Structure 1
Amino acid sequence: MQRRIKIFLPGLVIIFTASVLSILLSCRKNPPQNYREVVLYCSVDQAIAEPIIAAFEEQTGINVLARFDTEASKTVGLVQRIRAEAISPIADIFWSNEIFHTIRLARESLLATYVSDATKDWPSLYADPNGQWYGFALRARVIGYNTARVAAGEAPKCLEDVLDGKWKGRIVMAAPEFGTTGGDVSSWFAHYDLVRATETLEGLKANGIRLVAGNSTAVRMVATGQADVCFTDTDDVYAAQRNGWPVAMNYLDQGGDGALAIPNTAALIEGGGNREEAEELMDFLLSEQLEKMLAGSDSHNCPIRPVLAEQFKLYAIPKLLGVDYEKIADRLPMAIQTAREILR
Structure 2
Amino acid sequence: MQSPGEVVVYVAHDQDLSEPILKDFEAETGIKVKPLYDTETTKTVGLVNKLIAEKNNPQADVFWNNEVSRTMKLKDEGILAKYVSPNSLDKPANMRDAEGFWTGFGARARVILYNTDLVSAEDAPKSILDFTQPFWNGKFCIANPLFGSTGSHVSAIFALWGEDKAKKYFQDLKDNSMAIVESNGMVRDAVVAGEYLAGITDTDDAYEAISEGKHVAMVFPDADDFGTLFFPNSVMLVNGGPNPENGKKFIDYVLSAKVESKLAGSQAMQIPLGKGVPKPDYVPDIEKVNSMQVTQEDISQNLESSQRYVQETLLT
**Cα distance in 1 for residues equivalent to 2:223 and 2:116:** 22
Q: What's the counterpart of residue 4 of structure 1?
A: none
What SS does the corresponding residue of 1:90 show, helix, strand or coil? coil
**Cα distance in 2 for residues equivalent to 1:102 and 1:233:** 19
Question: Is the CA contact (8 Å cut-off) linking 1:215 and 1:232 kept in structure 2?
Answer: yes
* Letter of the 1:295 counterpart: A
Q: What's the counterpart of residue 20 of structure 1?
A: none
1:315 pairs with one of 283, 287, 291: 283
Q: What's the counterpart of residue 221 of structure 1?
A: 190
Residues 164-204 of structure 1 deviation map (CA, whole Å, 9 limit, x = unaligned): 11100111111111110000001111111111100110110
Closer/same/farther in 2, CA of residues 188 and 157 from structure 1, 3 Å limit: same
Q: What's the counterpart of residue 205 of structure 1?
A: 174
Deviation of 1:119 after TM superposition, in Å, equals 3.1
* Letter of the 2:243 counterpart: N
Question: Is the CA contact (8 Å cut-off) linking 1:222 and 1:229 kept in structure 2?
Answer: yes
Q: What's the counterpart of residue 22 of structure 1?
A: none
Q: What's the counterpart of residue 310 of structure 2?
A: 339
TM-score (norm 1): 0.87
* Letter of the 2:308 counterpart: Q
Is there any run of 5+ residues in structure 2 with no aligned partner, and where? none
Closer/same/farther in 2, CA of residues 255 and 67 from structure 1, 3 Å limit: same
Closer/same/farther in 2, CA of residues 55 and 151 from structure 1, 3 Å limit: same
Closer/same/farther in 2, CA of residues 323 and 112 from structure 1, 3 Å limit: same
After superposition, the CA RMSD in angstroms is 1.6
Range that drifts further, 202-211 or 254-263 = 254-263
Residues 276-324 of structure 1 deviation map (CA, whole Å, 9 limit, x = unaligned): 1111101001111110110011101111123127x44421152111211
Higher relative contact order (CA 8 A, sep 6+): 2
Question: Is the CA contact (8 Å cut-off) linking 2:111 and 2:203 kept in structure 1?
Answer: yes
Q: What's the counterpart of residue 92 of structure 1?
A: 61
Q: Structure 2 matches for 1:1-344, cutoff 5 A?
A: 36-120=5-89, 122-253=91-222, 256-308=225-277, 311-316=279-284, 317=286, 318-344=289-315
Question: Is the CA contact (8 Å cut-off) linking 1:160 and 1:254 kept in structure 2?
Answer: no
**Cα distance in 2 for residues equivalent to 1:226 and 1:135:** 35
Residues 182-236 of structure 1 deviation map (CA, whole Å, 9 limit, x = unaligned): 0000111111111110011011001101111100011101111111111100000
**Cα distance in 2 for residues equivalent to 1:76 and 1:275:** 23
Deviation of 1:254 after TM superposition, in Å, equals 7.8
What SS does the corresponding residue of 1:149 show, helix, strand or coil? coil
When Rg is computed on C-alpha atoms for both structures, the one with the higher figure is 1
* Letter of the 1:330 counterpart: Q
The percentage of aligned residue pairs carrying the same residue is 38
- Higher percent of residues as helix: 1
Range that drifts further, 173-182 or 114-123 = 114-123
Question: Is the CA contact (8 Å cut-off) linking 1:238 and 1:298 kept in structure 2?
Answer: yes
**Cα distance in 1 for residues equivalent to 2:67 and 2:226:** 21
* Letter of the 2:158 counterpart: F
Question: How many residues are aligned here?
Answer: 312
What SS does the corresponding residue of 1:308 show, helix, strand or coil? coil
**Cα distance in 1 for residues equivalent to 2:92 and 2:290:** 18
TM-score (norm 2): 0.95
